[in-house]
Structure 1
């Protein structure tokens, strides 16, 4: 582990700006989510279930909009994508705090459809601003900054909602988020590295963690492997496996969140929920920083399996002290797992599809989060709080194993061996007049993929 790896990343002005801007955007975003729930319950006098429906409407809309907004980033750039979104956000959240329940649901859904794709934008900026060998470190910093904003945002939201009328608190938070988005629009950071498409990325380690040439561009050699079919130009079996891992990671996390609340209520320590969740987030923060300083990347499927495996022992806790320790340990692989999904996708997918890829990644994580809570809740209702941890852990281990097998199978199909590669070059390269194949044939073969 080399903490000095963070020095060149933090010295990069574009990376520094993206990390700071991300923190400023995400704090009011997390705060706004808490305030929205409190607004429905207190100011509108509705139930928590009805508050959950408002959140669900917004969440579904954000999940649907992810690939669409990402595709726009790829096609028309940051400013033309973000500009209309900012106008919709300002209009929706200027009106939404002062309307009844059903109009609020509609405004929340509309705002979700036109949400500024901040996670996609900032991660693209970070990926494009650093060399390949610094990518994991930079993304780990982003995950750690996200953890810090998640720890600060809800606390600020609760304070605002209890100090002011929830309508004003909601208005202030959402407009602050829009203002931060406007700053991003003004700065207009570059979303790509500026390297020519297909240019090699320097700095790969001895394990072969290079950027991957698109498998669909490789010539097929009869009998030696077929290039995989790609949906939308980039979604191959390995890519789909990583997206599944991203969804499963948030399934485990959202299920753990619900199970923590249920466990502490069972222990008669409801007042401990806040600081136990903070410890969970602190474990993730430390894990993210350690992973960023680690000497090599790890497969997302190994990390997901580890995240799930360390979640199961929480079910063995006998009281609040042991529960807090086990929860903190279970959080250690949260940020590394999320970081690994982004890093591995950035190597599997061509830069020209990166915006849409990040949109699908965000949608996958949103979908996993939406599934995890009810799955854990069902297990808790039928078997007690400990079963919430056990069930999401078992699902995580299962998906990690299946994803690893699918990804490995996809690589075997996509990549011919050395002999096949040589044959492909011999078949594809036209002979020169003196009978020697030229060395600059445009019919290349895929570069080595990540194989941990």
Structure 2
């Protein structure tokens, strides 16, 4: 079957038109992603299977999602965006329902079915971040990405408790149906929003690349950004897992919830402040990632001073998380913008797809690595993994910055460069 051919020429989309509504629908379409682990785990354990078997099903889903990142991102580049999104959303939601309805004799095939469901993972993150690059340029675009990253934190506040509540009340199957409903409702709503914006046709001409400020696709720079995002996810996963294990070993698992909430609030505050800050306070990937990694460092003295001091230890850790967390949303936002600077419009969906794969791989590497280090040496060595991964992300972005991609922290006002974002090539 041949993909529908979008009309030639640039889509008529006025910068800034409907921006908040677009970001809102983009976030709504991502709600299901934050609750996948909870819903699938509840379903498989309700079957009478072990947590290890639940992990196998989740692994199949994760591998499928990792493969789907660039593949479905390319679909967004080649098909009208609302059509590509609608098609994958329906397939993914239907796949989740099919997984939940597996009869007993066929449940051994759940990992394979989960892999197929993951392959249909809707490209909502790729589409959402790609469309923002058509709504704004330069510092205004980075500000939108900071708003997007801040909203991402709200997803983790809303979706997991909702799905967990449904699962506790009605079982794992109902939790998966809720997950499928979130994916379907949010995804179709976002597709309708894109259709109304006349953003479905995204085939571009060479002049679009010039207007976007990027003369050519830069695979090496994009690879560095994807690898840096993978390192950031290793760091985030390491902190989450290390503090969860530390809280459990202290006999107070509820502390892990306080740690996660404090970190999320810190990120919300940092994202809100950086979004509202004057443009002169903006900074590029190297500086943002440096502050992110440095925010992880302060966890080490907090643990060193607080360990063995009763309630004072968790309080110090929460304080360190609140302070360090303020760098998370700005760091993520500047990496989103780096993807834009390293790609051309007609390949941007694929670029953000590879970025999503970097997220998946980073989380997949971070969990077992941190677990092994924690088993060997405890919480502080596990947090050293997070710090090392954070600074590795900084090092990975140094060639991108020095390769000619002038970032806002280099002293050059991005909006002053002809064509919007930096036009310098590597």
TM-score (norm 1): 0.78
Work out whether 1:347 is the aligned partner of 2:341. yes
Structure 1 residue aligned with 2:400, among 398, 407, 415? 407
Q: Which residue of 1 aligns with 2:136?
A: 130
Task: List aligned pairs for 1:223-238, cutoff 5 A.
Answer: 234-238=217-221
Q: Distance in 2 between matches of 1:161 and 1:35?
A: 7
C-alpha offsets along residues 249-268 of structure 1, whole Å, 9 cap, x if unaligned? 11111111101101212333
Gaps of 5+ in 1: 1-10, 202-210, 215-233, 413-445
Q: Which residue of 1 aligns with 2:161?
A: 155
Q: Distance in 1 between matches of 2:54 and 2:288?
A: 34
Work out whether 1:45 is the aligned partner of 2:22. no
Q: Which residue of 1 aligns with 2:291?
A: 306
Q: Distance in 1 between matches of 2:383 and 2:273?
A: 25
Q: Which residue of 1 aligns with 2:3?
A: none
Q: Please report how far the alpha carbon of residue 141 of structure 1 lies from its aligned counterpart in structure 2 after TM superposition.
A: 1.0
C-alpha offsets along residues 418-445 of structure 1, whole Å, 9 cap, x if unaligned? xxxxxxxxxxxxxxxxxxxxxxxxxxxx
> Is the contact made by 2:263 and 2:322 (CA closer than 8 Å) also made in structure 1?
yes
Secondary structure of the 1:212 match is coil
Q: Which residue of 2 aligns with 1:91?
A: 94
Task: List aligned pairs for 1:25-64, cutoff 5 A.
Answer: 25-41=29-45, 43-64=46-67
Stretch of structure 1 that moved more, 357-366 or 192-201: 192-201
- Provide the alpha-carbon RMSD of the alignment: 2.5
Q: Please report how far the alpha carbon of residue 332 of structure 1 lies from its aligned counterpart in structure 2 after TM superposition.
A: 1.5
Report how many aligned residue pairs link the two structures. Answer: 378
Q: Please report how far the alpha carbon of residue 290 of structure 1 lies from its aligned counterpart in structure 2 after TM superposition.
A: 2.1
Rg larger in structure: 1
Q: Please report how far the alpha carbon of residue 380 of structure 1 lies from its aligned counterpart in structure 2 after TM superposition.
A: 0.5
Q: Distance in 2 between matches of 1:450 and 1:314?
A: 38
Structure 2 residue aligned with 1:118, among 100, 118, 124? 124
Q: Please report how far the alpha carbon of residue 339 of structure 1 lies from its aligned counterpart in structure 2 after TM superposition.
A: 0.7
Q: Please report how far the alpha carbon of residue 138 of structure 1 lies from its aligned counterpart in structure 2 after TM superposition.
A: 0.9
Q: Distance in 1 between matches of 2:403 and 2:255?
A: 46
Q: Please report how far the alpha carbon of residue 131 of structure 1 lies from its aligned counterpart in structure 2 after TM superposition.
A: 3.7
Question: For the structure 1 residues 447 and 306, does the alpha-carbon distance in structure 2 shift closer, same or farther, using more than 3 Å as the test?
Answer: closer
Q: Please report how far the alpha carbon of residue 292 of structure 1 lies from its aligned counterpart in structure 2 after TM superposition.
A: 2.1
Question: For the structure 1 residues 193 and 133, does the alpha-carbon distance in structure 2 shift closer, same or farther, using more than 3 Å as the test?
Answer: farther
C-alpha offsets along residues 197-242 of structure 1, whole Å, 9 cap, x if unaligned? 23346xxxxxxxxx3322xxxxxxxxxxxxxxxxxxx343322222
TM-score (norm 2): 0.82
Gaps of 5+ in 2: 1-14, 307-312, 406-420
Secondary structure of the 2:146 match is helix
> Is the contact made by 1:245 and 1:300 (CA closer than 8 Å) also made in structure 2?
no
Which stretches of structure 1, 4 residues or longer, exceed 3 Å deviation after superposition?
Answer: 191-196, 198-201, 408-412, 446-451
Work out whether 1:212 is the aligned partner of 2:214. yes
